[in-house]
Amino acid sequence: MAQLNFGGALENVVTREEFPLEKARAVLADETVAVIGYGVQGPGQALNQRENGIRVIVGQRPNSKSWDKAVRDGFVPGVDLFDIEEALQRGTIICYLLSDAAQIQLWPTVKKHLSPGKALYFSHGFGITYNDQTGIVPPEGVDVFLVAPKGSGTSLRRMFLQGRGLNSSYAIHQDATGRAFERVVALGIAIGSGYLFETTFKKEVYSDLTGERGTLMGAIQGIFAAQYAVLRERGHSPSEAFNETVEELTQSLMPLVAENGMDWMYANCSTTAQRGALDWWKKFRDATLPVFNELYDSVAAGKEAGRSIASNSQPDYREKLEVELKELRESEMWQAGQTVRNLRPENQPVEELV
C-alpha cells in the first residue's frame, strides 16, 4: 500500500504495479470465488476474474434469464455454474452481487453457508451499513470486505477488454482470518481495477448514493432538462437544443476533462467559453449546494435506503420502473437525442458517407 497526495490530502492506494496480477493469483490460488448473482456487476466481475486465471463459479437460479446468460458466457452447468445454494457451499469467497433488495431476501440462505474462514465480498456498502433495515449481520468467523468499481459492470468489462482498468474503492469491515487485506486487494486486481483506494463501508455507500442521485445521474438529468427547456421555450430547434445541452458535453468536452482535467478543458476552449464558464460556475455551485447537503443528510439518515428497499421490494416494481423510464425515453429531449445519435458518422451506412 502506498500513500499518494491528492491535492494536499494523503490517501492509501494500491496500484497494479505494487500488487501485480501474479501476486493476486498467488493469494487466490487455493480459493474458489463464488459469484452470487449474474445481473449488473456479476458478469463483468466473473468473466474478468476467470480470464485472469482465478477459479470462479457462478451461483444463479436455474432456468432464469441470468442463468442462460451465464451459459452463453461460457459457464458450464455442473462445472462452474450451479444453483445458488450449491455455489454457496462450494465457494470460499462469496461475491454477493445481487441487488440490494435481493440480498435482503437471500440473506438467511447465505448466512448459513458462511462457515469460519470464508470471506463475504460486496461491491456496495448498502447491506452492512443499513443493517438495521436489511438484517445483514455476518457471523464473526468470516472476513467481510468490499471492492466497489467506480462504474457499471458493463464499463468494467469493456475497459478490461481494452486492456484498461476501472478504478475501485476497497474496504474491510471484518478481518477474522488476518488475511482480509490481501484477499480484498487480490480480488480488486483480479476483477480489473485500475487502482484501489481505501474507504469504509459507510463512506462508500454514502458517496455512492449521493453520486447516483447527484452528478452521475439525478442532477445531470435535471440540469439537462432545465437547459433544454429554456432553449426550446426561447425558440431553438430540438436539434440545436440537444446538441448544445448534451451532445457537445458528452462527445467533445467530457473526454477532454477525462484526459487531463477541467482546467485543461477550459484552456482548450475558446476565450469566450472560458470567460463565461469562469463567470458562471460559482453561481451554479451556490445554487445547488443546499440541494446536495439535503441529499447527503437524507442518505446519512437512512431515508434513501428505506425508500429504495420499500420500492424495490414491491412485486410490481419492474412495471412501475418502466413507467418512469418511459417518461424519460419519450420526452422530446431524449427523442431528439436518439435522432442525433443515429446521425453520428459511425452510425451511418458507409455508402451514404462517400
Q: Give me the domain span that covers residue 256.
A: 211-352
Q: Look at residue 350 and tell me whether its pLDDT is greater than 70.
A: no
User: Are residues 227 and 100 located together in one domain of the fold?
Assistant: no
Check pLDDT > 70 for residue 21. Answer: yes
Say yes or no: 159 and 274 in one domain.
no
| Residues 216 and 303 placed together within one structural domain of the fold | yes
Binned at pLDDT 50, 70 and 90, residue 303 comes out as very high
136 and 12 in a common domain: yes
**In this structure, are 40 and 95 located in the same domain?**
yes
- C-beta separation of 34 from 88 below 8 A: yes
178 and 276 in a single domain? The answer is: no
Percent of the chain with pLDDT over 90: 84
Claim to verify: residue 226 and residue 128 sit in the same structural domain: no
Mean pLDDT in the chain?
93
Looking at residues 266-270, what average pLDDT do you find? 89
Residue 100 shares a structural domain with residue 156: yes
Higher pLDDT, 10 or 314: 314
Q: pLDDT-based confidence at 240, cuts 50/70/90?
A: very high
Of 169, 199, 229, the position where a domain reaches its end is 199
User: Rounded distance, CA 332 to CA 338, Å?
Assistant: 10
CATH code of the domain in which 220 resides: 1.10.1040.10
pLDDT at 152: 87
Give domain status of residue 274, yes or no. yes
Cα 39 from chain centroid? Answer: 12
Residue 172 sits in a domain whose CATH number is 3.40.50.720
The C-alpha cell that represents 201 in the structure block: 463501508
Domain assignment present for residue 333? The answer is yes
Residue 130 CB partners (closer than 8 Å, separation 6+): 205, 302, 305, 309
Active site residue 113: no
**Residue 258: burial class (beta carbons within 10 Å; 0-12, 13-18, 19+):** exposed
pLDDT at 288 over 70: yes
Mean of pLDDT values over 212-218: 95
Q: Are residues 295 and 333 in the same domain?
A: yes
Q: What is the pLDDT of residues 309-343, one digit of tens each?
A: 999 888 898 899 999 999 999 999 999 999 999 98
What's the pTM value of the predicted model, to 2 decimals?
0.89
pLDDT of residue 174: 97
Per-residue pLDDT at 354? 35
Q: What is the pLDDT of residue 30?
A: 97
The mean pLDDT value for 285-289 works out to 96
d(CA 182, CA 171) in angstroms, rounded, equals 12
Provide the pLDDT for residue 349: 66
End-of-domain residue from the set 165, 199, 233: 199
In a domain? residue 204: no
pLDDT at 312: 87
Which of 199, 226, 244 is the endpoint of a domain?
A: 199
The arithmetic mean of pLDDT across residues 117-133, rounded, is 96
Digit-coded pLDDT (tens) for 137-170? 999 999 999 999 998 899 999 999 999 999 999 9
Catalytic residue from among 113, 124, 173, 236: 124
Q: Is residue 344 part of a domain?
A: yes
For the chain, the domain total comes to: 2
Closest Cα partner for 153 from 66, 74, 230? 66
Residues 319 and 251 in one domain: yes
Q: In this structure, are 112 and 173 located in the same domain?
A: yes
Other Cβ atoms closer than 10 A to 106: 19
Q: Is the pLDDT of residue 353 over 50?
A: no
* Same domain, yes or no: 29 and 131: yes
